Amino acid sequence: MNKKTVRITGAQCSFSVGAIQQNKNKILKCFEKAESVQSDIIIFPELAITGYPPEDLLLRESFIGKNFAVLEEIAEFSSKTSGIIGFVDRKLDNNSSDKNSRPIANAAAIIQNGDVRGIYHKTFLPNYSVFDEARYFSKGTESNQLFWYEDVAIGINICEDIWIEDGPAEEQVQSGASLIININASPYDINKSESRKEIVRNKAAKLNVPIIYLNMVGGQDELVFDGGSFVVDETGEVIYQASQFEEEVFHLDLDLLIKRSTDKPNLELREKSIELDSMVLTPTLTQSESIYSALKLGLFDYVTKNNFKKVLIGISGGIDSALTAAICVDALGPENVTGVAMPSKYNSNESLNDAIALSKNLNMELKVIEIEPLVETFRSTLSSAVANKLSQVTDENIQSRVRGNILMGLSNQTGAMVVSTGNKSEMAVGYSTLYGDLAGGYALLKDLYKTKVYDLSNFRNGISNVIPESIILKEPSAELRPNQLDKDSLPDYKVLDTILNLYIENDSSSESIIRTGIDASLVYEVLEKVDKNEYKRKQVAPGVKLTEKAFGKDRRMPITNTYIRQRD
């Protein structure tokens, strides 16, 4: 069968939500790179013009209008290299199942030689987990449409469309497509990169056509888009793998079947005099590498996109704050990170020494502020207003909230953002203090279980030994009362995290968790703590989503919940 060579450029880039003009400038620079190698097509991610997810910005007519104006400007710039660009199109919703009108669509524009030559509307709108697309968009209804480059037909679809069995890709191939291009803004979680690849590989082999999977990269609030774009041939073999968590513009030639001729090609292929360099597949990251990279990227983009320059961290001498500090320094540079150690009478000298050693290893500034006089003033003031002696919990929380106040005061004074240090295990069971250790602008470890904190700390030390071994080996403690240890209030973290993972990530019932062999009374105790501390979690700052059930948009539980779990 006859074939034609089509040269593709993939623009795996970061596009900020709402930064329409800056996104346009980045798109135009990528076009220049594609033109320099005589590409036929350059591909951009889903909603590249607006950034993803734009959420309720989509309800503003001025936002939609600006997105349209910028698309026209980009189209005017285009020449022989055609572009596939994610944007928001206008489209009436004729199939609405409720009273709400959705006059826009998640779309891909195909541009060339100064004009918009075609538009594809996303057919399957995800409305689960972090996705709310059915809230905003109308469904595409022409999923079998093709875009003809002379006598080669290409099917274009968007993100969720490729996950659907007998969906748009199948319809497009049945109509004559020799290549499927799928543009994405697919956020990272620990298990997703391999599942994406498996879905696409199987689909390419089934349909006997190559598929290009082009993903966005960058951080947006809780979400991190991990890139990792890839190309598979008609057998499902991966022939190119882009970097993860980094921007990359890549070029490749694909020999595509001419399946039939068409009288009305509306897109052109170009003559080529330039040979491309051979491609090198980027190795897939290990789980620890990908988690660490996601945390760095999520933090960096949150800090920089919100116009902060520096961050503050409360450094306790414990492992959570140590890992947080290491990630902050790696992401932002040591000159932009300040640690604050705030010892009270319950803090050991060893903890302060560990905090000092950590700061020296990371080459970051450490301020030491003694808090006992402030805590005593709070104790005295509060005691004078109540009849009974202050409870242990009240006293512990005073210390934590004094620390939170100091950090937020320093933030106000310096303009640096506070990064809180709590992990997912603690937040799950409420082992944290509102307006104390939960205070901050970004909760970096919010979706990282305590056992993973240890794993990631050891991973980071495998790169260079920055977290003192004494921090990793010591028994974890909040140090808010004499001889306090976490294990006095919580189960062993391996057991706790097993219960939490089953309950939160897998939605397992108490009965099914107990059947794994864990003591029933312990299971009930942990699950009750998770349920009753929803009010705390609702007030926690955003943090990087790492799992399929991150607290926040992923797991949406009512605060007021009178459902009673039946015990055997």
**pLDDT-derived band of residue 484, with 50, 70 and 90 as boundaries?**
low
Rounded CA separation 383/399 (Å): 15
Stated pTM of the model: 0.92
Q: Indicate which residue of 66, 159, 171, 310 is catalytic.
A: 159
Q: What is the pLDDT of residue 69?
A: 94
State the CB neighbour count (10 A cutoff) for residue 156.
Answer: 26
Q: Indicate which residue of 30, 46, 170, 549 is catalytic.
A: 46
Q: Residue 95 in 3-state DSSP?
A: coil
Select from 2.40.128.20, 3.40.50.300, 3.60.110.10, 3.60.60.10 the CATH code of 3-283. Answer: 3.60.110.10
Known catalytic membership, residue 159: yes
Rounded CA separation 95/78 (Å): 35
Contacts of 174 (CB under 8 A, 6+ apart): 144
Q: What residues does each domain of the chain span?
A: 3-283, 288-485
Contacts of 282 (CB under 8 A, 6+ apart): 241, 242, 243, 244
Q: What is the pLDDT of residue 264?
A: 65
State the CB neighbour count (10 A cutoff) for residue 188.
Answer: 27
Q: Indicate which residue of 122, 139, 296, 446 is catalytic.
A: 122
With CA atoms as reference, report the closest residue to 342 among 478, 153, 140, 148: 478
Which strand (E) or helix (H) includes residue 356?
helix 349-362
- For the stretch 391-445, pLDDT in tens is 888 888 898 999 999 999 999 999 999 999 999 999 999 989 889 889 999 999 9
Q: Which two tokens stand for residue 456?
A: 């990631």
Q: Residue 214 in 3-state DSSP?
A: strand
Q: Residue 137 in 3-state DSSP?
A: strand
Q: Residue 75 in 3-state DSSP?
A: helix
- For the stretch 53-112, pLDDT in tens is 999 899 999 999 999 999 999 999 999 999 999 999 987 666 655 556 668 999 999 999
Q: Which two tokens stand for residue 259?
A: 């399946």
What architecture does CATH give domain 288-485?
A: 3-Layer(aba) Sandwich (3.40)
Q: What is the pLDDT of residue 463?
A: 96
For the ranges 293-307, 329-343, 536-550, which has the lowest average pLDDT?
A: 536-550
**pLDDT-derived band of residue 559, with 50, 70 and 90 as boundaries?**
confident
Residue recorded with tokens 């080459």:
363
Rounded CA separation 20/4 (Å): 36
Which runs of consecutive H residues, i.e. helices, occur in 192-342? 192-207, 287-305, 319-332
Residue recorded with tokens 């019932």:
509
Q: What is the mean pLDDT of the chain?
A: 91
Q: What is the pLDDT of residue 562?
A: 73
- For the stretch 189-229, pLDDT in tens is 998 878 899 999 999 999 999 999 999 999 999 999 999 99
- For the stretch 361-395, pLDDT in tens is 999 999 999 999 998 999 999 988 988 888 888 88
101-to-97, 123, 128, 268, 377 alpha-carbon distances in Å: 10, 17, 20, 37, 58
